[in-house]
């Protein structure tokens, strides 16, 4: 899955220079069932992007659904 940053409101971050593109953000997302009938959660377990400074990666090391920690 590819993700995009699109600030809808609030202050400008000043993170990027004018006309500079934000890097493409990728994510592995899993669907986890809830204890509430008919409700599922989409959980990003790995998110990464390649920037001009190098790769940026985030990996979920634990996940809780409905206050219950999932077993690995």
- Do 34 and 65 form a contact (C-beta atoms < 8 A)? yes
pTM for the full predicted model? 0.63
52 φ/ψ angles, rounded to the nearest 5 degrees:
-70, -15
Strand 54-59, strand 40-51: pairing: antiparallel
Averaged pLDDT score across all residues of the chain: 79
**In which element (H, E) is residue 37 found?**
none
> Above 80 in pLDDT, residue 19?
no
Banded pLDDT at 28 (limits 50, 70, 90)? very high
pLDDT of residue 37: 84
- Do 45 and 59 form a contact (C-beta atoms < 8 A)? yes
pLDDT of residue 24: 86
> Above 90 in pLDDT, residue 57?
yes
């Amino acid at each position: 899955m590819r993700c995009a940053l699109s600030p809808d409101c609030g202050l400008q971050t000043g993170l990027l220079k004018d006309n500079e593109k934000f890097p493409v953000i990728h994510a592995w997302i899993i669907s986890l069932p809830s204890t509430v009938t008919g409700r599922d959660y989409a959980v990003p377990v790995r998110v990464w992007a390649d920037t001009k400074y190098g790769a940026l990666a985030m990996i979920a090391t634990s996940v809780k659904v409905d206050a219950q920690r999932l077993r690995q």
